[in-house]
Amino acid sequence: MFVKYTYQVQSSLLLTEHWPISWGPYQLEWQVKEGRAEAVSVRVKAPASSLPRITRNPQPGVTAAINLGSPPYRAEVDQFLRSFRGLLGFFTRIEIDFDHPQLNWEAENDDEKAQLALYSFSSQMAKPDRFALRHLPFDLVVRSVLATEAIADIEIPLSFVRKADRDLHNERYIEAFYSLFFFLETLYAPGYSNPKQVAKRFESSKPILDAIAHVRRSAKATTERGIKRFQNSDSTEIISYFVKLRGSLHHHSQANQWHPDKQRIYKDEVWFLREVVQKIAMDKIMPILFSDKWQSAAMKSAEKAGAIQKFRLVPLGIKDRQATMLEPLFYNVPGRRPSHDLIRGVEKDFRSRAPQLFPQTEIIAYRIYSDASPVILANYCARNASQHLDLFTAAQSPA
């Protein structure tokens, strides 16, 4: 019985001839299409104890469970191909997908064939499209343009965040870790290289401590293993761990053998660190983007472009046990046309300010109109408001 591992290949390797290469218990073969190497296979003897098994499920639902057993020599085959790639890489560009090999079991006779419950197995992981279309209110684009000067001093740290995002998508976890750590180092331990000093600076940084506490709290509501992993560690332990990991990844020796091709082992750490950095970065930029200064600048820019939408929000409330129409609110919002995002922004602003605008008043209903139009764009009605909705009649005509 043989097991064959087939790895997909990307390379500039052009093979005008090829044949099986045998050494020891192994045999290597190329899969070639029009001269281009597309895959490489390594075949090795497989003992019966390593064969896959399928266990049928008599209950409704999942039909069966597949146990791949213990495919023999997988680690050795991987290591051999990594060394092979290292040598061949001096003469041609070649990348091998070690994460998703196809396994084939090949019987040598009918008795062995009868033992096989599964002939081949492969898996693939589809990456999400990093540039899949995502709706974003244009107001955010405007604010981001206008506020660039205000964040000039953190432009480099924010660039580290963007680079980490790219590296995470490409599963380059060590590079992503460095970018995220550089974000923290640049802002909170600039110029420090001694691990004890870096840890001390981080431990005295309120933004870092607050972000770690925030991520630890969020661990209860997430299934992300990397975030849950540090749920029960305190801030000092977490900071110490990441500073030591940075030192470990910054150096390499035979005793400290992290592998540039085996970066997935750091996935948990990177996901946790990403959440910490994301929290710190958002806490920095959101007050800038939504400050009065940039709100005013965004409005001026929109007015100049003729991109202003006017809304009228008419509230109904109960005060002193009496239902009464309240003073309407008028909104000028940047936008070419009424949209869900603009209306939701108006509603959110009203809900946040209503307690101050109408103290000791229970808001039971409100309607949102476009400027002087009687057309209702949005409507909110509490359960106890239905008997009072006739009070809106007088407010439906233009103010």
pLDDT of residue 255: 72
Determine which helix (DSSP H) or strand (DSSP E) holds 4, and give its type and residue range: strand 2-11
128 belongs to a structural domain: no
Within a domain: 56: yes
At 379, is the secondary structure helix, strand, or coil? strand
Whether the CB-CB separation of 52 and 66 falls below 8 Å is answered with yes
Residues 110, 57: one domain? yes
176 in any annotated domain: yes
Is residue 7 over pLDDT 60?
A: yes
pLDDT band at 399 (very low <50, low <70, confident <90, very high): very low
Q: Is the pLDDT of residue 358 over 90?
A: yes
Residue-level pLDDT at 226: 67
As a whole-number percent, the residues of the chain with pLDDT over 90 amount to 48
Same domain for 188 and 271, yes or no, is yes
Highest mean pLDDT among 68-77, 220-229, 297-306: 297-306
One domain for residues 271 and 376:
no
Asked whether residue 295 is assigned to any structural domain, the reply reads no
Q: Within a domain: residue 299? A: no
Is position 247 within any domain? yes
Q: Determine contact, residues 152/130, Cβ cutoff 8 Å.
A: no
Q: Which residue is associated with the tokens 């469970």?
A: 65
Residues 113 and 204 in one domain: no
Which of these three, 65, 91, 121, is where a domain ends? 121
Residue 337 CB burial class (10 angstroms; 0-12, 13-18, ≥19) = exposed
Final residue before a domain boundary, out of 228, 262, 289: 289
β-pair type (322-325, 21-23)? unpaired
- 97 and 171 in a single domain? The answer is no
User: pLDDT for 82-115, tens place per residue?
Assistant: 999 999 988 988 999 988 899 988 888 888 788 7
The 10s digit of each residue's pLDDT in 198-253 is: 999 999 999 999 999 999 888 765 666 767 778 888 899 999 999 999 988 888 87
Question: Strands 94-96 and 53-56, how do they pair?
Answer: unpaired
> Is 133 part of a structural domain of the chain?
no
pLDDT in tens, 14-38: 888 899 999 888 999 999 998 899 9
Give yes or no: residues 260 and 321 share one domain.
no
Beta strand residue intervals within the chain, DSSP E: 2-11, 21-23, 26-33, 36-45, 53-56, 64-67, 94-96, 102-106, 120-121, 308-319, 322-325, 329-334, 362-370, 376-381
The conformational region for residue 61 under phi > 0 = left, psi -120 to 50 = alpha, else beta, is left
- Say whether both 258 and 351 belong to one domain: no
Could you give the number of structural domains in the chain? Answer: 3
Q: How is residue 75 annotated by DSSP?
A: H
Give the number of C-alpha atoms closer than 13 A to the C-alpha of residue 215, restricted to the C-beta side.
28
Ranking 126-140, 221-235, 289-303, 304-318 by mean pLDDT, the lowest is 221-235
**Three-state secondary-structure class, residue 366:** strand
| 132 found inside a domain | no
Kindly state whether residues 73 and 17 are assigned to the same domain: yes
Query: Rounded mean pLDDT of the chain?
Result: 87
For 350, the token pair is 């009203």
Residue 391 binned pLDDT confidence (cut-offs 50, 70, 90): confident
Q: Quick one: 216 and 281 in the same domain?
A: yes
Q: What is the pLDDT of residue 232?
A: 82
164 and 64: one domain? no
Domain coverage including residue 365: 307-395
Domain boundary among 95, 121, 147: 121
Residues 356 and 252 grouped into a single domain = no
Assess whether 280 and 165 both reside in one domain: yes
CA 277/CA 181 separation, integer angstroms: 9
CB 347 within 8 A of CB 353: no
Mean pLDDT of 177-203: 95
What's the CA gap between 346 and 216, in Å, rounded? 33
User: What per-residue confidence (pLDDT) applies to 282?
Assistant: 95
Check whether 139 has a pLDDT greater than 90.
Answer: no
